[in-house]
Chain A
Amino acid sequence: MNQTNSQPLSRMPAFSDRSAIAGLVADERVHSRVYTDPGLFELEIERIFSRLWIYVGHESEVAKQGDYRTRLIGRTPVIMVRGRDNIVRVLINRCRHRGAHVCETESGNTKLFRCAFHGWVYDTTGAVMSVTGKEAYGTRLDGKDMGLTPAPRVDRYRGFVFASLSPRGEDLASYLGPAAAVIDLIVDASPTSEIFVDGGTHKTFMNANWKLVGMDGYHPHYVHASVVAAWKRDAESGVGSTHRDDPFNDDAATRTRDFGHGHSMLDFRAHRIKHFEQQCAFLRKLSGGDAYLEAMNAAYGPERAATLVSVGGDPHLAAFPNLQLIHNQVRIITPIAVDRTEVTMTAVRLGGVSDAINFERLRQHESFYGPAGAGSPDDMEMFERAQRGMMAEVNPWIEISRGMDREQIDADGTRVGLITDEVPQRGLMRYWKEQMTGANGV
Chain B
Amino acid sequence: MNWNDFREVELLLFREAELAAKNEYQAWLGLWAQELLYCVPCNSDEVNPASKIALIYDDRPKLEERLFRLTTPQAHSQRPQSRLTRVVSNIVLADYDPATGGTATARFVATEVRHDRQTLWAGSTRHTLIRSGGELKIREKFVYLVNSDTPMSNLTFII
Contact = CB atoms under 8 A, between A and B. Distances in A.
B74 interface: yes
B83 to A, nearest CB: 16
Given A233-B68, A362-B49, A374-B69, A204 B77 contact: no
A247 B100 CA distance: 49
Nearest to B75: A226
Interface in B52-73: 52-57, 61-62, 65-66, 68-70, 72-73
Contact of B50 (A106, A358, A374): A358
A203 B56 contact: no
A238 B50 CA distance: 16
A372 B56 contact: yes
A355 interface: yes
Contacts of A315: none
Given A359-B50, A378-B75, A203 B69 contact: no
A367 interface: yes
Interface string A348-371: 010000010011001101110011
Interface stretch (A22-30, A121-129, A194-202): A194-202
Contact of B74 (A226, A349, A367): A226
A237 B55 contact: no
B51 interface: yes
A382 interface: yes
Given A206-B153, A358-B50, A378 B65 contact: no
B132 interface: no
Contact of B152 (A204, A233, A365): A204
A234 interface: yes
Contact of B151 (A205, A222, A358, A382): A205
A39 interface: no
Given A202-B42, A371-B153, A381-B154, A365 B77 contact: no
Contacts of B68: 229-230, 233
Contacts of A367: 62
B76 interface: yes
A202 to B, nearest CB: 6
B56 to A, nearest CB: 5
A223 interface: yes
Nearest to A202: B42
Contact of A380 (B74, B149, B153): B153
Contacts, number: 117
B155 interface: yes
Contacts of B56: 366, 372
Given A234-B65, A372-B40, A378-B76, A199 B154 contact: no
A12 interface: no
Interface in B27-65: 40, 42-43, 49-57, 61-62, 65
A365 B53 contact: yes
A355 B50 CA distance: 7
A363 B42 contact: no
Nearest to B40: A372
Interface in B118-159: 149-156, 159
A266 interface: no
B43 A200 contact: yes
Nearest to A336: B151
A225 B72 contact: yes
Contact of B42 (A200, A355, A374, A381): A200
A366 B156 CA distance: 12
A377 interface: yes
A342 interface: yes
Given A342-B151, A377-B156, A366 B57 contact: yes
Contacts of A362: 49, 51-53
The 9 closest A-B pairs by CB, nearest first: A377-B77, A225-B74, A200-B52, A205-B151, A200-B53, A372-B155, A371-B155, A226-B72, A203-B151
Given A200-B53, A229-B72, 10 more contacts: A201-B42, A202-B55, A203-B152, A223-B74, A226-B69, A226-B76, A237-B65, A363-B57, A366-B53, A372-B40
30 contacts: A199-B51, A199-B52, A202-B42, A203-B149, A203-B151, A204-B151, A204-B152, A204-B153, A222-B74, A225-B73, A226-B75, A229-B68, A230-B68, A233-B65, A238-B65, A347-B52, A358-B50, A358-B51, A362-B49, A362-B52, A366-B57, A367-B62, A370-B55, A370-B155, A371-B155, A377-B77, A377-B155, A377-B156, A378-B77, A380-B154
